[in-house]
Structure formats: C-alpha cells, structure tokens
C-alpha cells in the first residue's frame, strides 16, 4: 500500500467521522471539486468470440465451438455513499445501470431558509426544483468485476454534466473518475459508504 493510498484512506476516515458528528463547516454541497463554481457567496468552496470448425463438423458430423470465458459483471453497490464530506448520494439500480441521487446535504437551505434549488441547470424549466432527490449519477454500465464505465455525473455547482467511470475498491469505498473528453484530464473522487441518518439535511 503506497503513501498516497494511505493518505487517501486516512482522509476518508476523517470525512466519515466529521459526517457522523455533524462538525463540518463547509457550505451545502460545497466544492464538489469538479469544474468551477458559478455560485459566488452561495456555493462557497464545493460478446465473447465464437468460432466453428466447419470442416471438422462435415467430417465427423459434429460442430466444434470455441468460446472465450465471459467477463464477470459487477453487482451494483447499492447504499448511501458520502462524497467530500459535503453530500451523500444513494446509489441504486436503474434498469440494470448504476445511478445515484442526492440524499443528504450538509447545508440544505440557502441563507433565506429556502431549500437549495438546481439554479444553474441548463434547462430553465428545472431551475426551481429542490436539489434533494436530484439524480446526479447515471448511465454507468458494468465493464467487469467491480468496474463501471460510460456514465455521467451532473454537477449542480456549475450545471455541467461530465463523463464518469468508477471502481469499487472495497465493500465501503468507490473511486470515481469525473472528466470531459478523456479520463486523463479529469479529477478523482472517493465515495465512502455511510449509514442513513435522520438529522437535518436528509431528503
């Protein structure tokens, strides 16, 4: 286990501890760490190949089929996952794809006490919908054991939808890659499994 991974696991442990104690001082979803915030003051800091031997079939009256082993598919890691100590998403099965909706926010209301809304959505008709319950992860398909790809991540901080891939590295940890274009030019985020709570901020 290298130093970077040890540091990441330590940060995740601290994030879960802060989440459970409710001591985080970040605002709302805060900086998701993707793109740049456009909310100054409000959103501070957030088929296997098959071949046949036809000649053998004709000669011996049998069909010989050669097939490669099928790739095992990943099971959807359903549950509640904490991201950056500022937002929790509920991962669920949506037509055999992996999807995720906002289930908790550290600060669920604006300074006027109103529920935070999807104000930067590129679709004007959606800008008044509350962020709680909004699907922000979708379209992830299993690409192998514990791996997912071809998905998208919607960031309410800037109203941009990014490409997404993810790997379940343990029962309680998901490493996600959020990017535009190619994964190289993106950012890595870790999601830590947590229990559903009952405090303010839960949808």
- Tens digits of residue pLDDT in 26-62: 333 344 556 655 654 333 333 232 233 323 322 223 2
- In this prediction, residue 177 carries a pLDDT of 97
Q: Find where tokens 């405090």 sit.
A: 199
* Higher per-residue pLDDT: 122 or 10: 122
For residues 152-160, give the mean pLDDT: 97
pLDDT cut 90: percent of the chain above it: 59
What residues have CB less than 8 Å from 106, skipping those under 6 apart?
A: 24, 26, 27, 28, 29, 30, 85, 86, 87, 201
Concatenated DSSP letters for 5-72? HHHHHHHHHHHHHHHHHT-----TT---SSS--S-TTTSTT----EEE-HHHHHHHS---EEEPPPPP
Q: Which CATH class is domain 3-46+71-194?
A: mainly beta
Cβ contacts of 48-54, under 8 Å, gap ≥ 24? none
Cβ atoms of 150 and 138 within 8 Å: the answer is no
Structural domain spans, the chain: 3-46+71-194
* Higher per-residue pLDDT: 66 or 140: 140
Cβ atoms of 81 and 192 within 8 Å: the answer is yes
- In this prediction, residue 34 carries a pLDDT of 61
Verdict on whether the full-model pTM lies above 0.75: no
Q: Is the pLDDT at 171 greater than 70, yes or no?
A: yes
Going by pLDDT thresholds of 50, 70 and 90, the confidence category of residue 174 is very high
- In this prediction, residue 20 carries a pLDDT of 54
Distance, in Å, from the CA atom of 2 to the CA atom of 115, rounded to the nearest integer, reads 42
3-state secondary structure labels for all residues of 111-155: CCCCECECCCCCCHHHCCCECCCCEEEEEEEEEECCEEEEEEEEE
For residues 52-75, give the mean pLDDT: 37
- In this prediction, residue 31 carries a pLDDT of 40
* Higher per-residue pLDDT: 19 or 140: 140
pLDDT tens-digit series, residues 134-153? 999 999 999 999 999 999 99
Lowest-confidence region among 36-40, 41-45, 101-105, 176-180: 41-45
């Amino acid at each position: 286990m290298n130093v970077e991974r040890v540091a990441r696991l330590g940060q995740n442990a601290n994030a879960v501890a802060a989440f459970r104690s409710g001591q985080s001082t970040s605002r709302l979803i805060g900086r998701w760490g993707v793109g740049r915030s456009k909310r100054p003051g409000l959103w501070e800091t957030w088929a296997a190949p098959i071949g046949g031997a036809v000649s053998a079939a004709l000669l011996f009256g049998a069909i010989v089929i050669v097939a490669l082993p099928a790739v095992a598919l990943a099971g959807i890691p359903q549950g509640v996952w904490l991201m950056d100590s500022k937002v929790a998403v509920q991962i669920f099965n949506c037509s055999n794809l992996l999807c995720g909706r906002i289930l908790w926010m550290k600060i669920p209301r604006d300074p006027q006490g109103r529920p935070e809304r999807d104000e930067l959505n590129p679709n004007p008709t959606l800008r008044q919908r509350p962020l709680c319950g909004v699907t922000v992860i979708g379209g992830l398909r299993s690409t192998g054991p514990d791996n997912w790809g071809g998905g998208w991540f919607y960031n309410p901080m800037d109203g941009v939808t990014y490409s997404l891939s993810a790997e379940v590295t343990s029962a309680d940890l998901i490493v996600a890659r959020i990017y535009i274009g190619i994964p190289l030019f993106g950012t890595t985020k870790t999601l830590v499994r947590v229990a559903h709570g009952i405090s303010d901020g839960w949808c």
